[in-house]
Amino acid sequence: MNKISDVMTPSPNVASKEFTEFQRFNSRWMWTIIGGLIISGTLPIIGAMAPGFPPEMIPVIILISLFPVCIAVVIGTGYLKTTINSSGIFVEMKILIKFKKHFLWSEIESIAVDRYKPIKEFGGWGIRMGRNSIAYSTSGNEGLILKLNSSKKVVIGTKRSTDLHAYLFKF
């Protein structure tokens, strides 16, 4: 890991004002794959218009073709919102369902802004669990790394590591 910041022991006085970051799943390669699936999903519909195609199969073909569109809608409406204030760190993530988690300052042993390996450590992005760890991320490889008093590691992805570092470490 390449260090972005030093590790610090958190303090409830960290937040004289609130830090908020809102992220969406906006990876170019992800949308390229979904776009390809949508395009390939329309090919069976075009084939169903050919003479001699059994009409009773058309609804099945349409349902199968809509699957990539449904995936695109779920991913397109998903987000990660991180809020840091005097009570602690609040994570809200939506992928199909909304998930909320609040980490109180008293639960956090140490905190750092650092790079991590989302695929190697967690198998990708989203809400992912690793060995004695959990990650909340939409893309990228930078995050807020929390070590909890329970020895559990929590990674919260960020696209604003410089701002986050400045916010946390100015106190």
Q: Which residues pair with 10 in a beta bridge?
A: none
What does each of the 171 residues of the chain score in pLDDT, given as a tens digit?
445 555 555 554 554 588 999 998 877 777 787 788 777 777 777 776 777 778 787 788 788 778 877 877 887 788 999 999 989 999 999 988 899 999 999 999 999 999 998 888 888 888 888 788 999 998 889 999 999 999 999 999 999 999 999 888 775
- Tokens, residue 119: 């695929």
pLDDT confidence of residue 57: 78
Using CA atoms, how far residue 50 sits from 34, 66, 85, 161, in Å, is 26, 20, 61, 54
| CA–CA–CA angle 48, 50, 54 (5° rounding) | 55
Report yes or no: 161 and 4 within 8 Å, Cβ to Cβ: yes
Residue tagged 């395009």 (tokens): 39
pLDDT confidence of residue 67: 81
Around Cβ 84, how many Cβ atoms within 10 Å?
Answer: 25
Report yes or no: 133 and 122 within 8 Å, Cβ to Cβ: yes
- The C-alpha atoms of residue 4 and residue 110 are separated, in whole angstroms, by 15
Using CA atoms, how far residue 123 sits from 13, 67, 76, 127, 156, in Å, is 35, 23, 20, 10, 15
pTM across the whole model = 0.74
Domain map (residue ranges) of the chain: 12-24+82-169, 28-76
DSSP 7: -
